[in-house]
């Protein structure tokens, strides 16, 4: 069973539709035991980091998510919440990955948010098996995760400025783009995640 975390900040419907197209029936839940016993966990997110963290704390989910031992995928805001701090509301977050989330500098990236199709390159790790370097994915965000060395599993460039568009640490994976809205490449990525065994 795939658990999709319910915390009032997720792009849940499109994620569920993408999973259904792949033949996967998922359960949307905020129940601690259902999340921890799931075969895999998807942590979607759209919205404001501070509000999202407040909702996670209110539902008692912060400690639950950091305790997941099975494959875990954070999407968009979900990936950012896996980091330790965000400039969006000066918010402390889950600290699954030691990284600060920063706002794009308008002097470097004059169009904020970064919305639309863009490429991901320097792809590595099991999420990207069968996906060509330079494949296009759909993005919608104003904040980004800097390059993290070995924890960065994909890089995207915006106005020539490179940032982490996918990361991994042990059983935890994150993508800044929306695979559920990213056509064939996104579908392959989700299928790779569903087939993971950790």
pLDDT 10s digits, 98-150? 999 999 999 999 999 999 999 999 999 999 999 999 999 999 999 999 999 99
19-42 mean pLDDT: 96
> Which residues are 74's β-sheet partners?
43, 174
Catalytic residue, candidates 24, 76, 88, 168: 76
* CATH label of the domain that carries residue 140: 3.40.50.880
Q: How many folded domains does the chain comprise?
A: 1
Catalytic residue, candidates 24, 88, 168, 180: 180
Q: Report the pLDDT value the prediction gives residue 110, as an integer from 0 to 100.
A: 95
What is the 3-state secondary structure of the chain?
CEEEECCCCCCHHHHHHHHHHCCCCEEEECCHHHHHHCCEEEECCCCCHHHHHHHHHHCCCHHHHHCCCCCEEEECHHHHHCCCEECCCCEECCCCCCCEEEECCCCCCCCCCEEEEEEEECCCCHHHCCCCCCEEEEEEECEEECCCHHHEEEEEEECCEEEEEEEEECCEEEECCCHHHCHHHHHHHHHHHHCCCC
Annotated active-site residue 57? The verdict is no
Could you tell me the pLDDT band of residue 151, with boundaries at 50, 70 and 90?
very high
Annotated active-site residue 180? The verdict is yes
Q: Which residue has the higher pLDDT, 46 or 194?
A: 194
> What distances in angstroms separate CA 178 from CA 24, 63, 73, 117, one per listed residue?
18, 25, 11, 10
Tens of pLDDT, residue by residue over 39-58, are 999 999 888 999 999 999 99
Q: How many CB atoms lie within 10 A of CB 19?
A: 20
180-194 mean pLDDT: 97
Q: Report the pLDDT value the prediction gives residue 11, as an integer from 0 to 100.
A: 80
Six-digit token string for 169: 């640490």
Residues 41 and 28: beta-carbon distance below 8 Å: no
Q: Report the pLDDT value the prediction gives residue 10, as an integer from 0 to 100.
A: 73
Segments forming the whole domain that contains residue 67: 2-194
Between CA 19 and CA 120, with CA 85 as vertex, the angle to 5 degrees is 45
Annotated active-site residue 24? The verdict is no
Q: Assess whether pLDDT exceeds 80 at residue 198.
A: no
């Amino acid at each position: 069973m795939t658990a999709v975390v319910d915390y009032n900040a997720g792009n849940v419907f499109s994620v569920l539709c993408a999973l259904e197209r792949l033949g996967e029936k998922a359960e949307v839940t905020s129940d601690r035991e259902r999340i921890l016993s799931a075969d895999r966990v998807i942590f979607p997110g759209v919205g404001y980091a501070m509000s999202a963290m407040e909702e996670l704390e209110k539902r008692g989910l912060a400690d639950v998510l950091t305790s997941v031992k099975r494959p875990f995928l954070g999407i968009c805001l979900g990936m950012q919440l896996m980091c330790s701090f965000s400039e969006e509301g000066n918010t402390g977050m889950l600290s699954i990955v030691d990284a600060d989330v920063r706002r794009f500098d308008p002097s470097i990236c004059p169009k904020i948010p970064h919305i639309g199709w863009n490429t991901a390159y320097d792809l590595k790790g099991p999420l990207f098996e069968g996906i060509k370097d330079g494949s296009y994915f759909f993005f919608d965000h104003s904040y980004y995760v800097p390059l993290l060395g070995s924890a960065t599993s994909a890089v995207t460039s915006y106005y020539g400025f490179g940032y982490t568009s996918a990361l991994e640490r042990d059983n935890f994976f994150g993508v800044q783009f929306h695979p559920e809205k990213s056509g064939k490449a996104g579908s392959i990525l989700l299928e790779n995640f569903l087939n993971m065994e950790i």
